[in-house]
Copies of this chain bind each other. A is one copy, B any other.
Amino acid sequence: MTATATREETGHEAPSARQQAVLDAVLALLVEEGDQLTMDAVARRASCSKETLYKWFGDRDGLLTATVRWQASRVHAGRDAGGPLDAETLRERLLDFAVSWLDVIAGRTSVVLNRIAIAHAGSRKGNLGAIVLANGRLAIGARVKPVLEAGRAAGLLAFDDGETAFRTFFGLVGRDIQIRLLLGDALELDAAEIRRDAARAVDQFLALYGRARP
């Protein structure tokens, strides 16, 4: 009930250490080689047999799905510290989100995984697309919206619909960055530039939705 339990019915359980190593190999391969990822290459890179791959992950799609989930599981480093909200902490929290979001989407791994998921969404079985969406856009939304609501409750922000406000924030932060990276634009973003972009986005968002202390 130890090892075999990981490959249960739904295939949703946390992967074993060895399986994680395999998934990391997939990620590495994806990042290095682009998307023409073959099962052979994975087996070779991870020093395991294709048979094991199929036993653990079912088929190629299963392996991809597990990889996306695995990567998603390590991104969820969010600080959702609660507490009283003044203008300064609100700005800080938003800046935090903006920076970490830009960090994610500018990363090679994210780009490659999004490419895979998008290609996948184009041909039946929307699973991958849905998973990436749930762990990307939707997850960040779910974490930012409460902050916005808190900001409104504290009289620091003014908006009717939290979803709309968040989508504006999303647009101000991401702008054309993700689509350009997905389409292969070079567009190097270093930490400093990310910080500057994030700060600008937060300023603009507060200019649009902020309320002068009443």
Interface residues on A, range: 35 or more
Residues on the B chain within 8 Å of A179, using CB? 114, 136-137, 174, 178-179
Query: Could you tell me the distance between the alpha carbons of A183 and B122 in the complex, rounded to whole angstroms?
Result: 8
Q: Mark A151-194, 1 if CB is under 8 A from B, else 0.
A: 00000000000001001101111111011101111000000000
Query: Could you tell me the distance between the alpha carbons of A184 and B183 in the complex, rounded to whole angstroms?
Result: 17
- Among residues of B, the one whose C-beta sits closest to the C-beta of A203 is B208
Q: Mark A22-61, 1 if CB is under 8 A from B, else 0.
A: 0000000000001110000000000000000000000000
Residues on the B chain within 8 Å of A136, using CB? 179
In this assembly, does A145 line the interface, its C-beta being within 8 Å of a C-beta of chain B? no
Contact of A133 with B185 at beta-carbon distance under 8 Å, contacts A118-B118, A118-B119, A179-B179 already known? yes
In this assembly, does A123 line the interface, its C-beta being within 8 Å of a C-beta of chain B? yes
Complex contact B115–A180 (CB within 8 A):
no
Complex contact B184–A123 (CB within 8 A):
no
Q: How far in angstroms is the closest Cβ of chain B from A150?
A: 22
Complex contact B171–A167 (CB within 8 A):
no
Complex contact B123–A180 (CB within 8 A):
no
Residues on the B chain within 8 Å of A207, using CB? 207-208
Q: How far in angstroms is the closest Cβ of chain B from A180?
A: 6
Query: Could you tell me the distance between the alpha carbons of A124 and B34 in the complex, rounded to whole angstroms?
Result: 7
- A122's partner among B112, B168, B172 (CB-CB below 8 A) is B112
Query: Could you tell me the distance between the alpha carbons of A35 and B118 in the complex, rounded to whole angstroms?
Result: 11
Complex contact B35–A123 (CB within 8 A):
yes
In this assembly, does A121 line the interface, its C-beta being within 8 Å of a C-beta of chain B? yes
Residues on the B chain within 8 Å of A204, using CB? 168, 208
Residues on the B chain within 8 Å of A171, using CB? 171-176
Q: List 11 A-B contacts (CB under 8 A).
A: A35-B123, A115-B121, A118-B118, A126-B184, A129-B183, A130-B183, A133-B184, A137-B179, A168-B172, A171-B172, A179-B179
